[in-house]
């Protein structure tokens, strides 16, 4: 399970406050370790070049965490939302290739992690106070909707079945999508190289 994932991101997880940190540790421990070694994209069409090879997903998660840090500062997000986003960065693609690694991206991987978080939260736990239950629900939603406009219809069907409105925590779910999107853009990765930034930005604005 996710012992290697837990070790890889323990510094980031350790910044999460209160009893929610135990929930996050348990969740990270319960998902597959294979995401540390797979590419972040099966097509390589948009993601940075170093993400379409082995360990690419690990680089993607670190980039998401970096964008989260700056986004939290820019938007003056609460400590609670910061903790949700940190956990979301680590967990959102946890079942990218399925519960076990099937070797290719599954379109419904957001639904898989959503259901996993939801089912894991049902385990009897003295920490599941009302405020922690709210955080778990937020985490499940940011993982489910992290693909934004590319969210599979199955995700919305799942929300309807659970009686959850699509716009619940809308600002937070959209922020998670923005972080995931920007962190995965090859264009951003490329234009940050100092010697080419002028040309790259000029070409980007023409497209």
Two structure tokens written together for 42:
């099966």
Nearest to 89 by CA among 193, 159, 182, 188: 182
Task: Provide the pLDDT for residue 194.
Answer: 61
For residue 94, the enclosing domain spans 3-206
Task: Provide the pLDDT for residue 85.
Answer: 98
Residue position matching structure tokens 């097509």: 43
| In contact, 25 and 139? CB cutoff 8 Å | no
Tens digits of per-residue pLDDT, 86-127? Answer: 999 999 999 999 999 988 889 999 999 999 999 887 654 555
Task: Tell me the Ramachandran region of residue 163: left when phi exceeds 0, alpha when psi lies from -120 to 50, beta otherwise.
Answer: left
**Helix residue spans in the chain (DSSP H):** 3-8, 10-13, 20-30, 56-75, 79-91, 109-120, 130-144, 153-162, 170-183, 186-191, 197-206
Task: Tell me the Ramachandran region of residue 151: left when phi exceeds 0, alpha when psi lies from -120 to 50, beta otherwise.
Answer: beta
pTM over 0.85? The answer is yes
Tens place of pLDDT for every residue, the chain, 207 residues?
A: 789 999 999 999 999 998 899 999 999 999 999 999 999 987 777 888 888 888 999 999 999 999 999 999 999 999 999 999 999 999 999 999 999 998 888 999 999 999 999 988 765 455 556 778 889 999 999 999 999 999 999 999 999 999 998 888 999 999 999 999 999 998 888 777 666 666 766 666 666
Please give the Cα distance from 31 to 195 (Å, whole number).
40
Number of domains, the chain: 1
């Amino acid at each position: 399970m996710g012992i290697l994932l837990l070790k890889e991101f323990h510094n980031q997880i350790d910044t999460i406050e209160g009893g929610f940190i135990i929930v996050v540790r348990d969740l990270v421990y319960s998902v597959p370790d294979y995401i540390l070694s797979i590419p972040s994209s099966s097509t390589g069409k948009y993601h940075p070049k170093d993400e379409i090879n082995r360990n690419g997903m690990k680089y993607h998660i670190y980039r998401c965490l970096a964008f989260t840090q700056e986004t939290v500062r820019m938007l003056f997000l609460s400590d609670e939302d910061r903790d949700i986003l940190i956990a979301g960065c680590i967990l959102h693609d946890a079942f990218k290739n399925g519960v076990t690694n099937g070797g290719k991206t599954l379109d419904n991987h957001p639904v898989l992690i959503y259901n996993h978080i939801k089912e894991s939260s049902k385990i009897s736990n003295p920490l599941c106070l009302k405020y922690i239950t709210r955080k778990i629900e937020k985490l499940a939603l940011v993982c489910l909707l992290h693909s934004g406009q590319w969210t599979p219809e199955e995700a919305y069907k799942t929300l309807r079945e659970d009686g959850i409105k699509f716009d619940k925590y809308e600002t937070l779910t959209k922020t998670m999508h923005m972080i995931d999107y920007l962190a995965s853009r090859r264009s951003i990765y490329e234009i940050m190289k100092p010697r080419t930034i002028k040309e790259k930005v000029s070409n980007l604005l023409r497209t």
